[in-house]
Amino acid sequence: MGEVFHHVNGKFHAHQRVYVLSNFRGVVPRYFFYHFSSFFRLMAQDGSARTTVDSVRRWMLTDMPIPLPPLDEQRAIADYLDRETAQIDALVAKQEELLTYLAERKRSVLDHVLADVDGETRRLRWLYRPSSEANKPDEEVLSVYREHGVISKSSRTDNFNKTPENVDRYLLVRPDDLVVNKMKAWQGSLGISAHRGIVSGDYEVLRPTTSDLDPEYAHFRLRSPEMVLEYRLRSRGVRPAQWRLYWQDLGDVEVIVPPFAEQRTAAVRIKSETSQIDTLIAKAEEHIALAKERRSALIAAAVTGQFDVRTARKAG
């Protein structure tokens, strides 16, 4: 909340729950956009703390103070930021293109290695059972990412879902459990956990009932493109935003279970061939985070007058 803003020229459609600010008077719209998008989040999230639902209230908009330097200075600030942020955005776009390529390369490795592994097929319901173990509020909160699997929620800065104060109903996750985001399983949001912790009750926590599956092999196999397609076909809902994958359907999905030694060999091979890719992905993500941080700091400094953009422009 308070993180998404757009500056638009011309006509456009807006959802009924979107606030649209227009007909600016005494302020350059681009200057307003830069200042507002930098500082509104602080007011919005502070105000949200006093409500039960995270949403932007009208008073948050109307009560927010906006410093207004002379119009020529506003234009100078907006022009400077247009130019500087465009360069940063171009760098971010290149890194995001690299991330897309690396993700495709990683999927290719996964497909290639798993295609060489064969064995009997068994339904997931014969390998896992749902767990409803809960009431462990002191455990670490975990989250499931399509790109990473099950990780500590606090290890990422891009997860804006707020954890409620009462987590008594959160489900306990033990190492080697399969954790499934029922709402996003069709996108690949699931994985074998290497951590102990708790997850939202909207997730499915599946505990292994046999030692026939190597956890690392299971993690790679269950997150493979072939398996994700199965989840997509079995998810229910009117449209993707409402699709859910329930255990009664997930349990019928068949997975290849080779001899245990072959599972270990496949898992080790995948980790070996993707370790360098993972390193490059981490570096690209770090570059993107630093670029976005610099972008935010630059905007904040410019709109608050911490430096003269006209002097900075001449120096540049």
CA 96 vs CA 51, 86, 100, 175: distances in Å: 36, 15, 6, 32
In a 3-state reduction of DSSP, which class is residue 24? coil
- Check whether 240 has a pLDDT greater than 90: no
Cα–Cα distances in Å, from 233 out to 119, 254, 257?
Answer: 23, 13, 21
**Percentage of the chain with pLDDT > 90?**
70
Average pLDDT over residues 99-128: 94
CA distance 309 to 49: 35
Whole-model pTM: value is 0.77
pLDDT band of 241, cuts 50, 70, 90: confident
- Residue 47 pLDDT more than 60? no
Q: Tell me what the mean pLDDT of segment 49-69 comes to.
A: 76
The rounded percent of the chain whose pLDDT value lies above 70 is: 94
- Mean pLDDT of the residues in the chain: 90
DSSP letters, 252-316, are T-EEEE--HHHHHHHHHHHHHHHHHHHHHHHHHHHHHHHHHHHHHHHHHHHHTTSS-HHHHHHH-
Q: Is the pLDDT of residue 50 over 90?
A: no
